[in-house]
Amino acid sequence: MAIGVKKRLEIPKEWEEIKKLPLGNLTFAILIICILIFGAGYLLKMPEVYNALMFGPKNGNTFGLIESGEVWRIVTPAFIHFGFMHVLFNLMWWKDLANILENTKGPIFLGFFLIVSAALSNILQATQTGANFGGLSGVVYGLLGYLWIYKLINKDSKFYLPKSDIALMIGWFIICFFDVFSFKAANYAHGGGLVMGMLFGLIMGLKDKKALDKSKGPQISGI
């Protein structure tokens, strides 16, 4: 008789370190904002909520409302989600990846990163497909790109993602470009966020590595 042995599910050491971090206030606040907007706009069927946050009208001038002064629409599509899996997937990644930035760089840096990555990814998506899109995934891919490149530059970084998770997210990004699913992914937002995050990771990685090397001082060899 064959005896099956259940192997205990092991959590990668990278995630063990990430899970030890306390949940930051801004990370938590964005979670709540997205959940409340999803509850009102999707579950309670209040279209005026989504209409106030979309990049622009579904038909007509995509940038018209922004040009008329409603500049918040450059960022707010990031807080809109169109289904349970959509909001769950994005918020699970946001909670962990954004929390790394908040704990290591502070809430001001995370807030700046959120605004820039959301704005850039939303504008890129809007120019290519129009205003009918939403989701935090452009920012999530920005966070992924940041942590990926930052670790490559600054080897002393304590918090980073397992290579398998990076490969999973990049693989998902590539697959979505082939439109094999019944839903439409915001591919341009994903790509824009990823590239922006990689640039941020490169700049901050070089900056922090330089500061760390300077703090160590010159290495003196003994005879």
| Catalytic site includes residue 68 | no
Determine which one of 121, 157, 190, 221 is catalytic: 190
Reduce the DSSP state of residue 9 to 3 states and report it.
Answer: coil
Determine which one of 81, 117, 137, 164 is catalytic: 137
| Catalytic site includes residue 215 | no
What secondary structure letter does DSSP report for 6?
Answer: P
Which contacts qualify for 34-39: CB closer than 8 Å, 24 or more apart? Answer: 34/79, 34/81, 34/87, 34/90, 34/91, 34/94, 34/136, 35/87, 35/91, 37/79, 37/80, 37/81, 38/80, 38/81, 38/87
Q: Of 212, 214, 85, 206, nearest to 146 (Cα)?
A: 206
| Contacts for 194 with CB less than 8 Å, ≥ 6 apart | 141, 142, 144, 145, 173
**Residue 186: count of CB within 10 angstroms of its CB:** 24
The helix (run of H) or strand (run of E) holding residue 4 is none
The DSSP result for 43-67, as a single string, is IS--HHHHHHHSSS-SSS-TTHHHH
Active site residues: 137, 190
